[in-house]
Amino acid sequence: QKEVEQNSGPLSVPEGAIASLNCTYSDRGSQSFFWYRQYSGKSPELIMFIYSNGDKEDGRFTAQLNKASQYVSLLIRDSQPSDSATYLCAVKESGGYQKVTFGTGTKLQVIP
Amino acid sequence: SAVISQKPSRDICQRGTSLTIQCQVDSQVTMMFWYRQQPGQSLTLIATANQGSEATYESGFVIDKFPISRPNLTFSTLTVSNMSPEDSSIYLCSVPSEGSDTQYFGPGTRLTVL
């Protein structure tokens, strides 16, 4: 069974700090990686995707991918209370069907 | 991104009954996905709904329990049959983004089975 692992948290950071969220995956052939944000009672919202090794920046968000180590991370700079949510890592599996597998999510709390 | 709506947004149902959830997209899409998110858990793919063919179910999910219809390229339904309290979950439909690997989710249906 292909797995995506995340620390469930909660991860607490003070307002203005950098939040670092990590994810590991088991399918070495995976090529597409996603971060979704899910507020309580709401559906997941895509915030970042990354395909290549290295960093990808979008505003306060940076996704980092290391395929050799099979991990992907999300950095949130200048964290705001509005960033408090559960962050889901998702990985598109290799192979013909290319199913997306979601991690269990990390709950982030940004303390004012 | 696609605009996705779901009906109902929430429901409370009795054990042994069935509920049909509707998913409507504002553009034509080849595939639609149905997910379940149990309390405190992540998303689990139930099935992929393809227009003009039978849905493809994931391991642990069967057509008799979760029949799916896909009458056209903008609409799908998921029925949760013979419900038990263990079916209490949020049910989400999603569609792939045009030209990319990403998916967009509908607002979800929060189901409580008593």
Q: What is the pLDDT of residues A28-69, one digit of tens each?
A: 888 899 999 999 989 999 999 999 999 999 999 999 999 999
CB contact under 8 A, A32 and B101: yes
Who contacts A57 (Cβ-Cβ below 8 Å, separation ≥6)? none
| Amino acid identity at B6 | Q
Q: Distance (Å, rounded) from C-alpha A106 to C-alpha B73?
A: 34
Per the prediction, chain B carries an average pLDDT of 93
pLDDT-based confidence at residue A95 (cuts at 50, 70, 90): low
CB contact under 8 A, B101 and A105: no
pLDDT in tens, B90-109: 999 999 887 777 889 999 99
CB contact under 8 A, B105 and A44: yes
Of A49, A98, A105, the CB nearest to B102: A49
Residues on chain B touching A100 (C-beta within 8 angstroms): 45, 103
pLDDT number for residue A96: 58
Question: Percentages helix, strand, coil for chain A, rounded to the nearest 5?
Answer: 5, 55, 45
Beta carbons of B113 and B87 less than 8 angstroms apart: yes
pLDDT-based confidence at residue B42 (cuts at 50, 70, 90): confident
Q: Distance, in angstroms, between B14 CA and closest chain A CA?
A: 22
pLDDT-based confidence at residue B78 (cuts at 50, 70, 90): very high
**A23 is written with which tokens?**
């994810």
pLDDT number for residue B47: 95
What's the burial of A11, exposed, middle or buried (CB within 10 Å: 0-12/13-18/19+)? middle
A40 near B CB under 8 A: no
B76 near A CB under 8 A: no
